[in-house]
Amino acid sequence: MPKRIQPLTELQIKKAKPAPKEFKLFDGGGLFLLVTPVGGKLWHFKYRFAGKEKKLAFGAYPIITLAEARQLREEAKKFLASDVDPGEVRKSRKEELDAEQRTFERVALEWFAKNEPVWSLSHCNTVKRRLNHDIFPVFGNRPIAEIRRSDIISLLKGIEARGKVETAKRIKIYCGQIFRYALNNDWIEYNPTADLKASDILTKVEEKHHAAITDPKKVAGLLRAIDGYTGTCTVKYALQIAPLVFVRPGELQKAEWSEIDLDTAEWNIPAARMKTKQPHLVPLSRQAVGILRELYKLTGSFKYLFPSLRSNQRPMSNVAMLAAFRRMGYDKEEMTTHGFRAMARTILDEVLQIRPDFIEHQLAHAVRDPNGRAYNRTAHLAERRKMMQIWADYLDGLKAGAKVISMRRSEK
């Protein structure tokens, strides 16, 4: 007899982690959850009709809950029992959907469900919050085909009036993507946001970059201040390692010991924690390995390199390093945790004259080869490993008071 499939539980689904290859979690009766390498969790119903195996998509978890997926499975089974293909029923219903029922909210939620598997959790939460708070109350229940350009402008100006200019700009982008999705599905005849520039209707706000110290003389002072920091040990270690690896603050803050290989001097950050949704490899200099070996004595038994003071089951707060900067006398207009990236990018290029594509790749920016293909995580690894050691040695020299090289390239 075939082995009986045990029904899924919410806990199993929540704990399911992405793997290099997609895999399935079966609930029974043809229903299964497909877990993709990028972390998506998609419901599918497998069935046979007229001698052919078919598959029906129910949507993404948690937009479609376990209970809702089971209900959809039972509805599909009822059609099969009546010798009706549920896939054809779905297709027919979609084609017959009346324009009055295709509201902006309905289309937006479908657009969200299609993108949710490839977005980070924080981005999903941000988009969902803005949809529910800023857009749906204004025209969410209106047929999307009836919404005009003037409606979008009125929405954006209303958000601007609350002092949320940057939010209005993001809302305009979301609306544009939703209308484009509807246009591509032939649900509307034109995109009311086409050629609509937020800069034409909203107050211009001076763009603010992450504060960063890029002058080598000031960098030397910052590095000495970090070495002399008398606050929490884990925060001090985080401050010491940050300039050596120049990853994004969240990537450092949530670093796990399982990602670190001190013997090979490598830090492998999984795709799920990267902004680019691509795995990233950080070669570790001798100095970085030395700091991490000391840190391991303190936190090596925990999951995170930099655990929270309140619970070692959670990572360090995202404001811990910012607070340390303030304690050392650096205000928010002078230096931020993100500033280590600008520091490395500027000095590696203008002082150490490292090839820009090596720098960009180590920053995990979108770098492509001459054929337009994205470089993989190990591209130029030997060169990047050398670059990271040159960078660490240079920082050591600054701290020791070495002669500072001019920021300006020498003329050839």
- Report domain extents, the chain: 17-96, 104-201, 216-399
Superfamily for domain range 17-96 = Integrase, DNA-binding domain (3.30.160.390)
Contact criterion met (CB below 8 Å) for 282 and 266: yes
Classify domain 216-399 at the CATH topology level: hpI Integrase; Chain A (1.10.443)
**Can you give the pLDDT at residue 77?**
93
Mean pLDDT over the full length of the chain: 86
Catalytic residue among 24, 55, 78, 275: 275
pLDDT, one tens digit per residue, over 44-59 is 999 999 889 999 999 8
What's the average model confidence in pLDDT over 394-401? 89
Q: What is the spatial distance between Cα 147 and Cα 150, in angstroms, rounded to a whole number?
A: 8
pLDDT, one tens digit per residue, over 332-355 is 778 888 888 888 888 988 888 888
**Can you give the pLDDT at residue 377?**
66
**Would the pLDDT of 187 be above 90?**
no
Q: State the DSSP H helix or E strand holding residue 167, giving kind and residue range, or none if neither.
A: helix 165-184
Q: What is the spatial distance between Cα 210 and Cα 161, in angstroms, rounded to a whole number?
A: 26
| Closest-CA residue to 340 (of 384, 278, 408, 395) | 395
Catalytic residue among 73, 341, 345, 361: 341
Query: Which residues, at least 6 apart from 156, have a Cβ–Cβ distance to it below 8 Å?
Result: 168, 171, 172, 198, 201, 202
**Can you give the pLDDT at residue 267?**
93
Higher pLDDT, 407 or 185: 185
Catalytic residue among 248, 273, 280, 345: 248
Catalytic residue among 91, 162, 365, 409: 365
| Closest-CA residue to 173 (of 149, 196, 151) | 196
Higher pLDDT, 88 or 4: 88
**Can you give the pLDDT at residue 34?**
93
**Can you give the pLDDT at residue 362?**
87
What's the average model confidence in pLDDT over 354-361? 86
**Would the pLDDT of 284 be above 90?**
yes
Q: How confident is the model at residue 259 (pLDDT cuts 50, 70, 90)?
A: very high
Side by side, the strands of the sheet bearing 23-28 are 23-28, 31-35, 41-49, 52-60
Catalytic residue among 70, 102, 338, 385: 338
SS3 118: helix
- Calculate what percentage of the chain has a pLDDT beyond 90: 45
**Would the pLDDT of 1 be above 50?**
no
Say whether 248 is catalytic: yes
Residue type, 266: E
**Can you give the pLDDT at residue 410?**
37
Contact criterion met (CB below 8 Å) for 260 and 267: yes
What's the average model confidence in pLDDT over 352-364? 86
Q: What is the spatial distance between Cα 384 and Cα 306, in angstroms, rounded to a whole number?
A: 25
**Would the pLDDT of 25 be above 50?**
yes
**Can you give the pLDDT at residue 305?**
93
The answer as to CATH 3.30.110.30 being correct for domain 104-201 is: no
Say whether 338 is catalytic: yes
**Can you give the pLDDT at residue 66?**
94
